[in-house]
Chains A and B, each alone.
Chain A
Amino acid sequence: MLVFAALALTIAGCVYLYLASPNQKWLVQALPGRPALVAGGLLLAAGLAAWITVLRPLAGFFVTLHVAMVCLFAFPYIAALRGKGRRN
């Protein structure tokens, strides 16, 4: 159960980080930079803490890192594909 919470927190943190980026393509306007970055950072930290509780510190850190990497390269592609679908 805690695994799902950890995964959800990590992904949610990445969503905030992505939406805070001026280059995001999901919303018409990016979320206000600093608050969104702080929110994303806190969510990621909570995710990291949850992963560490499930596993151990090192493994928890690497799981958070790898999930975050997948999210951060996937979100721009999802946005681009959605944008393409809308245009056609």
Chain B
Amino acid sequence: MIRADIIKLYKTVHTWTGITCGFALFIAFYAGALTMFQEPIARWASPPAVGVAAVPLDDAPRLLELVAAAHPEAREEGIKLHLRGYENEPARVTWEEDESHEAGQPHGHVHWWATLKPDGSLLAKQEEPSELAEFINTIHMRIGIPEPWGSYFMGVVSLLYGVALIAGVIVLLPSLVKDFLALRVGRNLKRMWLDAHNVVGITALPFHIAMAITATALSLSHELWSLQEAVIFGGKQAILDERDNEPFRAPKPIGEAGAMMAPSQLLQRLKAQVPDFEPKVMIFKNIGDKAASVRVAGAERGYVGDTHLGGVMLSAVTGELLKDSTRPSRQDPDRRASETFYGLHSGQYEGATITWAYFFLGFSGAWLFYSGNLLWIETRRKKACKGGELPEQRRDTYWLGAGTVGVCLGCVAGLSLTIVAAKWLYGRVDDLNHWHEYIYYAVFFGSVVWAFAWGAARSAVHLLWLCAAATMAIPLTTLLAVLFPALGMWAHGSAATIGVDVVAFIGALCFAWMAVATTRRIRNGPTDSIWSIRKADGDTVPHKPAATPAE
């Protein structure tokens, strides 16, 4: 039996860590759940393009040759040959070039794609792809705070999240077995919110522990590595790092011309040498040289973290395996363990089952922090005595209620609207990737201001309807694109992109249902709460039953 004073102490720890980190963690988990479908979202947001199909794989050697001749920088840095035909692959080959910059200075990159014209000549174009999916990922990683402060902040938040988990479990230990899987809906609202909070926290505890540890480690990677270098390795880490990067480095060109093997043949050679590997993209370097190489990125199924950093390198001349220590089955045990941690964070293994499981677990995590805040407010609620006047609720519960509504729903609505903008604003604004940011931040901060201006109860209804409308706009936009092609928007037919619309449709219905339920709550629920609007209206008349005959 745990002593009562320890429980009480950890309750304080849990409350403080939870309240301080709850907002940031909600955003990280909600956006993180969306990043489980990063690729479908990227495909949904990509405008129609030439596509991979325009150049059959058998014609790829000529295309590669022409690109390498016309773009020496691409030949050196690597030309990507796409294999899957997804909508976010604008053409059969793409590459990146440095923006013009002074040597040694930080600089951006520009993106190119290339295809063959019907007459067999080269068509290369510089075009920036949609960075919507990456933007959602940066919101997930750093909730929109610029680097390096975003990483520091989320590192500390994730660390405190780990502490909150330990504290929460200790607080729960005495009633853990008795209340396991209980969710008692009824008059006792505090009981209900406590159950609602505990049931997601305890059943998904292994997921949360893994997330707290990996999120802290990933956010603070650079800082931890410098500390390791200073304290543990003392100069050796750079050598290890160098050795670690070696398998990714292409052989240096030797200046002698060599005949390239065709990509389709290279893939056959790959299949013969590494049977279980699923290639996604081939990256060619130094085409035309005798030491030309191709790195094939892809997945080796069955491993946790099956794609991250994985890949094999073949000679582009002979198809022989050059470097093969970075795919999962060849990694050293420590690298494998490290990649397993990463895979557990990103849900990068198995396939659809894990993607969906992480999607739901991500939402459940967001709900954990939302319900935690609601519980804090409910616990501090001043109840009305029978027949007495309504007590004034504590100011801090007003502020936390408004903040919770504004931040959480602002994030949801902002992300939905910025996704919608990918189709509406394409071709209408110069810098769409920046517009994604402007739209998200405008909606997010607007919602926070709105929540504080209108109070938690009213703004919750307004903002839930905004979330429902913004999310419903995702499938409606696709529908409009089909019905009115003159709008200049598009609707892809692949299952993945239709899936985005279907999931958004269902999500919008959920938000609408929550809006209806919240409307009922603020009108008819107990008045001695920040979630009621009745007293604020000066409505002292006892509430009449809803079914007043209209005479």
Contact = CB atoms under 8 A, between A and B. Distances in A.
A55 B203 contact: no
Contacts of A56: 302-303
Contacts of B180: 21, 23
A76 B302 CA distance: 32
B344 to A, nearest CB: 7
Contacts, number: 77
B214 interface: no
Interface in B177-209: 179-183, 185, 195-196, 199-200, 203-204, 206-207
B183 A67 contact: no
A18 interface: yes
B302 A55 contact: yes
A86 B204 CA distance: 28
Nearest to B208: A69
Nearest to A87: B185
Contact of A76 (B199, B301, B358, B360): B199
Given A56-B302, A56-B303, A73-B200, A66 B183 contact: no
Given A55-B301, A63-B354, A70 B361 contact: yes
Interface string A50-72: 00000110110011011101101
Interface SS, A side: helix
Nearest to A51: B350
A73 B203 contact: yes
A5 B291 CA distance: 48
A34 interface: no
B447 to A, nearest CB: 26
Interface string B111-131: 000000000000000000000
A25 B357 CA distance: 23
B303 A80 contact: no
Contact of A23 (B181, B357, B358): B181
Interface residues of A, number: 28
Contacts of B161: none
Interface residues of B, number: 30
Nearest to A83: B185
B349 A24 contact: no
Contact of B353 (A3, A58, A74): A3
Nearest to A71: B203
Interface in A25-69: 25, 55-56, 58-59, 62-63, 65-67, 69
Interface string B277-301: 0000000000000000000000001
A63 B203 contact: no
Nearest to B304: A59
A8 to B, nearest CB: 11
B421 to A, nearest CB: 31
A79 interface: yes
B364 interface: yes
A26 to B, nearest CB: 11
Interface in B339-364: 340, 344, 349-350, 353-354, 357-358, 360-361, 364
A76 B349 contact: no
B303 A59 contact: yes
Given A59-B303, A65-B206, A18 B353 contact: no
Contact of A69 (B207, B303, B304): B207
Contact of B207 (A66, A79, A84): A66
A69 B204 contact: yes
B522 to A, nearest CB: 17
A83 B361 CA distance: 23
A84 B354 CA distance: 30
Contact of A55 (B181, B182, B185, B350): B350
Contacts of B301: 55
A79 B183 contact: yes
Given A55-B301, A58-B304, A73-B203, 13 more contacts: A3-B353, A23-B180, A23-B183, A55-B350, A59-B303, A59-B349, A59-B350, A66-B354, A67-B357, A69-B357, A70-B360, A76-B195, A80-B183
Interface of B: 179-183, 185, 195-196, 199-200, 203-204, 206-207, 301-304, 306, 340, 344, 349-350, 353-354, 357-358, 360-361, 364
Interface of A: 3, 7, 18, 21, 23-25, 55-56, 58-59, 62-63, 65-67, 69-70, 72-77, 79-80, 83-84
Please provide the 4 A-B residue pairs with the shortest distance between their CB atoms, ordered closest to farther: A23-B182, A76-B183, A72-B203, A73-B203
